[in-house]
Amino acid sequence: MKDEFNYRAIKEDLLRMNRHELSLAVDGAVDDRFYPEMRRMERQILLSIVDEAWKNHLLTMDHLRSSVGLKGYAQLDPKVEYKREGMRLFDAMWESIGERVTDLIFRMESFNEEFIRSTWVEATTSRNDPNAASASRQELDSPAQRAAQSSNQDNESRPDPVRHSEPRVGRNDPCPCGSGKKYKSCCMRKSGPVV
């Protein structure tokens, strides 16, 4: 196994394993050696599903915490009920993770092996210097072009302000309709407040 599959195991660990565990270890070594892209895909799927399920579990626990106080009306200890319900929800979350991962992996279609290898290849990050890009752009533009671009951007991005041409009437001023009442008791009530 060490030469063929590049599998390193401690002798004591192998001696403690029963036949079934040893069979699983050998199957895992074969898969790691001959199907590494499948392992990476399984790992990625499992990680994304666990992440989503854990976020949903935390949200559910938050809702449970806010509603468990009502258990006191039923003569039950809210703390004990919170623990019991939380454990039940946690177990349900783990069951759903196993079902969803298995479901997704069995639904994977058979593709060309070269396509799968190209899909699951580890990506490398490249870092570009942002200052160099902006400096080269400034060198290409003349000062007149930059000024024209900035003025066009300013004119396009800012809308004209809204201005009131009529004089404003205060709430406690006499109403302009001539009724003799205050504006707030007469026309303001009919038309709604002036902003």
- 191, burial (CB in 10 Å: exposed 0-12, middle 13-18, buried 19+): exposed
Please give the mean pLDDT across all residues of the chain: 76
Per-residue pLDDT of 33-62, as tens digits, reads: 777 777 777 788 889 999 999 999 999 999
159 or 178, greater pLDDT: 178
Q: Show contacts of 15-20: CB within 8 Å, 24+ apart.
A: none
151 or 108, greater pLDDT: 108
Per-residue pLDDT of 110-138, as tens digits, reads: 555 665 555 555 555 556 655 555 555 55
Q: What is the pLDDT of residue 195?
A: 47
Is residue 138 within 8 A of residue 150, CB to CB? The reply is no
Residue 142 in this model has a pLDDT that exceeds 60 = no
Tell me how far apart the alpha carbons of residues 109 and 20 are, in angstroms, rounded to a whole number: 29
Structure pTM?
Answer: 0.42
Q: Using DSSP, how many helices (H) and how many strands (E) does the chain show?
A: 9, 0
* SS3 (DSSP) at 145: helix
Which tokens sit at 129?
A: 């210097």
Identity of the amino acid at 120: W
